[in-house]
């Protein structure tokens, strides 16, 4: 069997640095060798330790780079790619003014096929190898996206948005059509190669009770799909949900009433959660997608990271760009914004914690940590090479070679997270194959 190897400083996580010390949770190999067989991790260790054993193996070296697991973006919108950074509104007005008119374009299959490769290119350029994606209400948008992901051999999760009220007619489905379309997509795409499906009611205000019941039915019929939706982003939204569902005990309870709060549920935002809602998410082992650039851009508020990671009732958590409410495809820039959100709350976020959320944390949130998220043996080898000197100011900041010890690594790692952008991504590999190279460009 043909092997291949990569030599670099290697960083991944073996446990959760919110609950364990860095020594227990971070695996850092200053001069490491990652050995792959058929796209999966065959061996991992120091170069010195493994070099002789794999002496004949073709080895690609990235000196002064940091090799990490590919980033996992826990929540973003395929049809909002082109309206990233639209001006001047908060959530509900922004949906009306920018999002809905743009999503309409995705009724056109040819348009979907035109945008899909651009969207995927942008993910790979930013080192994101897995994402949980809302497509549009139109099945064509899922088709185009999955087709492109399959072509690139990506482990990707997506779903058709379900939306049967409080949306323009041209964007609305019905409970019945959303069932039929979602089911057909699941049957065609779920577990095709590396693809997985998420049942995706947009958010409680745009689904009738009948449609939420349909979502529940889909999850029952296909219990290993995901539930992916929005939760408690903005105060006006929360109040609106209470009006629409007057019998509910709050926003999360609406989803709970329809059996949508489970261990394969991903809730984006969660900025306005009550303590009892946090507890319920912990109990249900649901996951939160923390979307800091979106939460600041739309003025939604500052996510309570400290509560989400409270030792007595921890919640599965990952980072997400939420493009186009978020302002960047970069998970580094997203981590930077996450840090600022915690600072504004006088909380803490170490660079190790942030990068955990962007890798193994996301994988755990998706129950995919047996397949991706770190370099344990047998895992699928999606990874990214980060360059700590990718801009002149970063080159000045990080003049010294990457250090040998973990403690000293936190400084260059933090600067990568605070100042790094797409340029910091030197290369992105999918199952051990080069998928993006900063110098050579995309479409490799």
Residues near its own copies, by CB under 8 A: 81-88, 90, 118, 121-122, 125, 296-299, 301-302, 327-329, 336, 339-340, 342-346, 348, 350-351, 391-393, 396-397, 410-411, 414-415, 418-419, 421-422
* Best CA proximity match to 379, nearest among 43, 15, 68, 120: 43
Question: Minimum distance between the CB of residue 236 and its own copies, rounded to whole angstroms?
Answer: 11
Task: Please state whether the peptide bond connecting residue 215 to the residue before it is cis, i.e. omega within 30 degrees of 0.
Answer: no
Question: Minimum distance between the CB of residue 426 and its own copies, rounded to whole angstroms?
Answer: 16
Q: Using CB atoms within 10 A of its CB, is residue 183 exposed (0-12), middle (13-18) or buried (19+)?
A: middle
Q: By C-beta, is 139 or 324 nearer to its own copies?
A: 324
Question: Minimum distance between the CB of residue 94 and its own copies, rounded to whole angstroms?
Answer: 11
The C-alpha atoms of residue 371 and residue 241 are separated, in whole angstroms, by 37
The C-alpha atoms of residue 218 and residue 212 are separated, in whole angstroms, by 10
Q: By C-beta, is 182 or 234 nearer to its own copies?
A: 234
**Beta bridge mates, 4:** 36, 58
Compute the C-alpha angle 27/28/32, nearest 5°. 115
CB atoms within 10 A of CB 243: 8
Question: Minimum distance between the CB of residue 126 and its own copies, rounded to whole angstroms?
Answer: 9
User: Cβ(308)–Cβ(77) under 8 Å?
Assistant: no
Q: By C-beta, is 93 or 193 nearer to its own copies?
A: 93
Question: Minimum distance between the CB of residue 327 and its own copies, rounded to whole angstroms?
Answer: 5
Distances, alpha carbon 118 to alpha carbons 38, 98, 124, 131, 433, in Å: 27, 20, 10, 15, 19
Question: Minimum distance between the CB of residue 391 and its own copies, rounded to whole angstroms?
Answer: 7
Question: Minimum distance between the CB of residue 118 and its own copies, rounded to whole angstroms?
Answer: 6
Question: Minimum distance between the CB of residue 326 and its own copies, rounded to whole angstroms?
Answer: 11
51 contact partners, CB below 8 Å, separation of at least 6 = 33
Q: By C-beta, is 49 or 347 nearer to its own copies?
A: 347
Q: Please state at what angle helix 109-125 crosses helix 139-151, rounded to 10 degrees.
A: 40
User: Cβ(59)–Cβ(5) under 8 Å?
Assistant: yes
């Amino acid at each position: 069997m043909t092997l291949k190897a990569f030599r670099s400083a290697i960083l991944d996580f073996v446990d959760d640095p919110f609950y364990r010390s860095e020594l227990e949770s971070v695996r850092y190999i200053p001069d490491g060798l990652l050995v792959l067989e058929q796209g999966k991790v065959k061996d991992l260790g120091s170069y010195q330790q493994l070099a002789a054993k794999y002496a004949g193996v073709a080895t690609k070296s990235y000196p002064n780079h940091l090799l990490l697991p590919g980033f996992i973006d826990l929540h973003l919108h395929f049809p909002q790619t082109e309206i990233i950074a639209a001006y001047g509104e908060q959530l509900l007005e922004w949906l009306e003014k920018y999002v809905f008119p743009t999503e309409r374009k995705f009724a056109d299959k040819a348009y979907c096929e035109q945008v899909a490769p651009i969207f995927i290119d942008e993910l790979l350029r930013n080192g994101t190898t897995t994402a949980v994606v809302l497509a549009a209400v139109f099945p064509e948008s899922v088709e185009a996206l999955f087709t492109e992901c399959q072509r690139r051999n990506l482990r990707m999760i997506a779903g058709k948005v379900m939306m049967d009220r409080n949306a323009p007619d041209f964007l609305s489905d019905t409970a019945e059509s959303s069932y039929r379309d979602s089911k057909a997509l699941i049957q065609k795409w779920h577990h095709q190669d590396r693809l997985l499906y998420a049942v995706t009611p947009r958010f409680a205000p745009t689904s009738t009770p009948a449609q939420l019941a349909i979502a529940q039915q889909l999850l029952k019929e296909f219990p290993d799909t995901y539930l992916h939706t929005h939760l408690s982003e903005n105060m006006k939204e929360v109040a609106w949900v209470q009006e629409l569902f007057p019998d509910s005990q709050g926003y999360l309870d609406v989803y709970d009433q329809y059996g949508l709060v489970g261990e394969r549920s991903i809730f984006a935002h969660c900025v306005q959660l009550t303590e009892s809602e946090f507890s319920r998410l912990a109990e249900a082992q649901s996951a939160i997608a923390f979307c800091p650039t979106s939460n600041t851009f739309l003025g939604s508020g500052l996510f309570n990271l400290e509560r989400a990671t409270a030792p007595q009732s921890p919640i599965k958590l990952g980072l997400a760009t939420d493009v186009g409410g978020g302002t960047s495809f970069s998970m580094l820039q997203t981590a930077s914004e996450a840090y600022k959100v915690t600072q504004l709350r006088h909380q803490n976020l170490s660079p190790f914690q942030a990068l955990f959320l962007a890798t193994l944390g996301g994988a755990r949130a998706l129950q995919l940590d047996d397949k991706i998220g770190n370099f344990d043996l047998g895992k699928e080898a999606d990874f990214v090479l980060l360059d700590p000197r990718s801009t002149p100011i970063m080159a000045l900041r990080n003049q010294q070679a990457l250090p040998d010890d973990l403690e000293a690594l936190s400084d260059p790692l933090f600067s990568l997270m605070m100042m790094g952008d797409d340029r910091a991504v030197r290369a992105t590999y999918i199952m051990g194959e080069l998928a993006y190279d900063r110098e050579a460009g995309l479409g490799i």
